[in-house]
Amino acid sequence: MITDQDINKLKKVFVTKPEAKKESDRIIGIMVKEFKTVIEMIGDTNERMDKRFDEVDQRLIGMNETMKGTLDELRSNRIILGNHESRIQKLEHLPSLI
């Protein structure tokens, strides 16, 4: 036969259903709180990364415009150089006046 003393010993060794429910609710509460914190941290990180990507995009756009200007200038210099070379070749083929 089970006595009250045996039941008290069992309660000390094993967790009761209400105690288990209370502990699991406490642990779930902690987990939910921590999960919300992680989600907020991910959101903050995402916002910072978006800002950095926008900054990089703006820099790249600026560099692209600068490179386009430089290429246009290079093209015009090549055209001018080509004109000078053709003029020099014409002068080289003239008979010497000396």
CA 78 to chain centre: 41
Interval 11-62: pLDDT, tens: 888 888 899 999 999 999 999 999 999 999 999 999 999 999 999 999 999 9
Q: Residue 97 pLDDT > 80, yes or no? A: no
The pTM score is 0.53
Q: Residue 98 pLDDT > 80, yes or no? A: no
